Amino acid sequence: MTGDLNPIHMDEEYCKKHAIYKTRVVYGLFTLSLAEGLAYKIGLFDGTRAMTMGWNMVKFRKPVFIGDTLHLEFEAIAKRDSKSRPEFGVVTMLYRMKNQRDEVVLEAEHQLLVPKKH
């Protein structure tokens, strides 16, 4: 899907011989995409027209392996009025993706433009 054909993501036999973890590792940006999908699926924005402004920080803390079960935890860590659009605010969310062993595999700060409630 991403076009990254690195053998550590694609070739189990290569990984058995040459990779640190001896198995394929899920591409980090795919894991980030899954986090974003989970945020919407679990209703983080509850139908709000949120628009991504950017990512301030993305850290891949642990590898994700094929077969892992992931879940997302999140919290709002900052908010402010939009400087260019007074009817919007900017919210920064901290995403924490965890695996089935409750290990943090991904942390990311996601900055969003959201309409203000009146």
- CATH number for the domain spanning 110: value is 3.10.129.10
Residues in the chain: 118
Asked if 105 and 31 touch (Cβ cutoff 8 Å), the reply is yes
Domain that holds residue 108: 32-115
pLDDT, tens digit (0-9, with 9 covering 90-100), for 106-117: 999 999 999 988
Name the pTM for this structure.
0.85
pLDDT, tens digit (0-9, with 9 covering 90-100), for 17-35: 999 999 999 999 999 999 9
In a domain, residue 9? The reply is: no
Asked if 89 and 70 touch (Cβ cutoff 8 Å), the reply is no
d(CA 24, CA 30): 14
In a domain, residue 49? The reply is: yes
